Copies of this chain bind each other. A is one copy, B any other.
Amino acid sequence: MDFCQIVKKRQSTRKYDASRQVEDEKLQSILEAARLAPSACNGQPYFMSVCRGQSAKDVAKACMGMGMNSFAADAPVLIVISEEDYVKSAAVGSKLKNNDYRSIDIGILAAYITAQACELGLSTCILGWLDDKKIRQICSLDHPVRLVITLGYEEAGDKLRDKKRKNMDKLVKYV
């Protein structure tokens, strides 16, 4: 699949087929794409906790509240992305330039995970609404949790939606 096809096909999937597991080789392929993602000073300041079975149910529950993310309970895999320490050069650069490189790196990682999942016929949703404290407990993590990505096969009949985005002239100018 060309990347532009992935871009068009990838969407936030909120209906999963709870009875269909993610094949291990596909999961490994997604994690390998994530591993090769670029990051500031190649610091790779993140960690992925792959949750299946009961831990997936528990993490899903920790992403709910205020009517949000109840669909996550049906996703067979949840990938929890937490922070790791900066490497020294990125820490210094971040401070000198007042720029949060680590969050940017975590965004790139999430893009790689969701693109490779799409390539393999799997569906994802990136969740930022989460209970950091609870998920840290479930996954035994010392660092803040930043994102959870649901991963699985979409329910049969879930359709590709039109993407609503800003017009190009609200997003781009030529200087």
Contacts and interface: CB of A to CB of B under 8 A. Distances in A.
Oligomeric state, in copies: 2
Contacts of A36: 7-8, 163, 165
A53 to B, nearest CB: 9
B33 A3 contact: yes
A111 B37 contact: yes
Q: Number of contact residues on A: which range applies?
A: 35 or more
A54 to B, nearest CB: 9
Interface string A122-153: 00001011101000001110000011000000
Interface string A107-123: 11111101110110000
B97 A107 contact: no
A1 interface: yes
A27 B31 CA distance: 30
Given A4-B119, A115-B115, A165 B97 contact: no
A3 B116 contact: yes
A111 to B, nearest CB: 4
